[in-house]
Amino acid sequence: MNLTDRFVASARSASRVVYFDTKTRGLALRVTPAGAKTWSFVYRVDRRPKWLTLGSYPAIPLATARTLALDKRHLIDVDHCDPAEVERASRGIPSEESEAPPVFTFGDLAKVYETFAKGRKKSWRDDLGKTKKYLLPRWGTMPLRDITRAHVHELLDGLVGEGMTVGVNRVQAVISRLFTVALDRSLIDAHPAVRMIKRFKEHPSDRVLTDGELRELCAGLDAHPGHASDALRLRLLLGQRGAEVIGMRWDEIDFGNKTWELPGARTKNGRPHIVPLPPTAMALLKRVRAAVADDEPRVFPGLTPWTDEQRALSSIHKGTYEWKDLRRTVSTRLASLGFSEDVIGRTLNHARYTVTSRHYIKHSYLAETRKALETWDAVLADIIAGRKASRSRIVHFRR
């Protein structure tokens, strides 16, 4: 048929079907039930049909596909060359008659991405964790150029079928980053996950834990002792980010000054951050220090955001909130205790955007942030014990 842009965009089929373009000899559009659309150039060599893949739609529109097909036809009719052999030679690949070259697989791309992401992306370990768990078991040995948009949809739909929800969006983002690196390095001709619609719409959370939920949380952590429980308790006491707490190192802890000094390389905004340690946090760290080997650099060795131990603790809240809501709970509670937004922001190490705050105010705010976290520590102890907070622990607004 005479293919048109409108037809190509709306083409759907319950089975695998091929449409040959009457306007451009040899151009074919292959459509699969999954919705993948691939351009091919079909010609004959020694009376045998050969299919040469030109790329996928919509990365390659109809007009471009026709131009590519005409170029291949010119090679056959004018230059008397086999288009497939010309393309192989342009890539430095031996002809089909010679020994087949090694195939670059998705597993090879994962190694390239690991080297690329180190030092560029702070959450590169999280990307690699998702790659090893969800992508390599399915695509590890597949030739990279053979992975199509249909394969990506099939994998993500499978994860949804297994019960994954918003996490599917995170896996999709990792896939997109991997193939962006591959495209940048000319390892593929078209990005199979570009502009792919997310399966779940995400809404910013505004969840703050109630007194009852805080008591249930602490009781649940007491019932499941371990590194994961201790890390979550510190997140509740200090209001710091999960990855920063999980990656805490002993050389960052100053027991004498009761502080935790985070280097800029481990913070989200790249700025060093000093966190004062209230009494409960100090007692927890001293207990962990006594149980961990002296030559162990990490406070919570082996703990990662995706470990089974960390995920198992989700049974405490049964999905009614998320662990990242602990940080919002701390900041909201500090505001209710009368602390200013500036002190709360300094406590949580939020990025500062004004010229004055970024470049001219060099005050450490250590005394103010210590007062905030020690007040929250005392109030949290009252909540857990089920007693009303003492009036002396309330910071009143100035008249």
- pLDDT averaged over every residue in the chain: 86
Give the E-state strand segments of 6-105 in sequence order.
17-20, 27-31, 37-45, 48-57
- Please give the structure tokens belonging to residue 224: 């499941």
Contact (CB, 8 A) for 335 and 341: yes
Give residue 395's pLDDT: 59
User: Shortest CA distance to 304 belongs to which of 242, 395, 393?
Assistant: 242
Q: What is the mean pLDDT of residues 268-280?
A: 90
Q: What is the mean pLDDT of residues 218-225?
A: 91
Confidence of residue 132 (pLDDT cuts 50, 70, 90): very high
Q: How far is CA 32 from the centre of its chain?
A: 29
83: phi then psi, degrees, rounded to nearest 5: -55, -35
Whether residue 279 is preceded by a cis peptide bond, meaning omega within 30 degrees of 0, is no
Q: What is the mean pLDDT of residues 12-28?
A: 86
* DSSP element (H, E) containing 260: strand 259-262
Give residue 98's pLDDT: 46
- CA angle 113–118–121, rounded 5-degree value: 95
User: Shortest CA distance to 255 belongs to which of 294, 292, 281, 228?
Assistant: 281
User: In this prediction, what percent of the chain has a pLDDT beyond 70?
Assistant: 89
- The domain covering 211-393 belongs, at the CATH homologous superfamily level, to Intergrase catalytic core (1.10.443.10)
Torsion of CA 188, 189, 193, 195, to 10 degrees: 150
Cα end-to-end distance, the chain, whole Å: 80
CA distances for 16 relative to 13, 21, 34, angstroms: 7, 17, 9
Contact (CB, 8 A) for 113 and 106: no
Q: What is the mean pLDDT of residues 49-59?
A: 85
Q: What is the mean pLDDT of residues 317-327?
A: 85
What single-letter amino acid sits at 34?
A: A
Give residue 178's pLDDT: 94
Confidence of residue 361 (pLDDT cuts 50, 70, 90): low
* Cα–Cα distance, 334 to 346 (Å, whole number): 12
Query: Does position 335 have pLDDT exceeding 60, yes or no?
Result: yes
Give residue 82's pLDDT: 79
Q: What is the mean pLDDT of residues 228-238?
A: 94
Looking at per-residue confidence, does 312 or 329 come out higher? 329
User: Shortest CA distance to 37 belongs to which of 21, 56, 64?
Assistant: 56
Instruction: Output the pTM of the full model.
Output: 0.57
Q: Which of 81-85, 136-140, 195-199, 270-274 has the lowest mean pLDDT?
A: 81-85
Computed from CA positions of residues 7, 10, 12, 17, in that sequence, does the dihedral angle turn out positive or negative?
Answer: positive
Q: Which of 70-79, 206-215, 227-236 has the lowest mean pLDDT?
A: 70-79
Give residue 358's pLDDT: 57
* Cα–Cα distance, 181 to 289 (Å, whole number): 41
User: In the chain, what are the domain boundaries?
Assistant: 5-90, 106-184, 211-393
Alpha-carbon radius of gyration of the chain = 29
* Cα–Cα distance, 229 to 72 (Å, whole number): 63
Q: What is the mean pLDDT of residues 105-116?
A: 91
Query: Does position 315 have pLDDT exceeding 70, yes or no?
Result: yes
Q: Quote the DSSP letter at residue 183.
A: H
253 in helix, strand or coil?
strand
Confidence of residue 392 (pLDDT cuts 50, 70, 90): very low
CB atoms within 10 A of CB 110: 18
* Cα–Cα distance, 108 to 89 (Å, whole number): 23
Top CATH class of 106-184 equals mainly alpha
DSSP for 186-204, written as a single string = TS-SS-TTTTPPPSS----
Query: Does position 94 have pLDDT exceeding 80, yes or no?
Result: no
Q: Which of 122-126, 194-198, 225-229, 240-244 has the lowest mean pLDDT?
A: 122-126
* Cα–Cα distance, 227 to 234 (Å, whole number): 11
Query: Does position 176 have pLDDT exceeding 50, yes or no?
Result: yes
The tens digit of pLDDT for each residue in 144-161 reads 999 999 999 999 999 999
* Cα–Cα distance, 370 to 303 (Å, whole number): 27
User: Shortest CA distance to 188 belongs to which of 120, 133, 72, 108?
Assistant: 108
- The domain covering 5-90 belongs, at the CATH homologous superfamily level, to Integrase, DNA-binding domain (3.30.160.390)
Give residue 278's pLDDT: 95
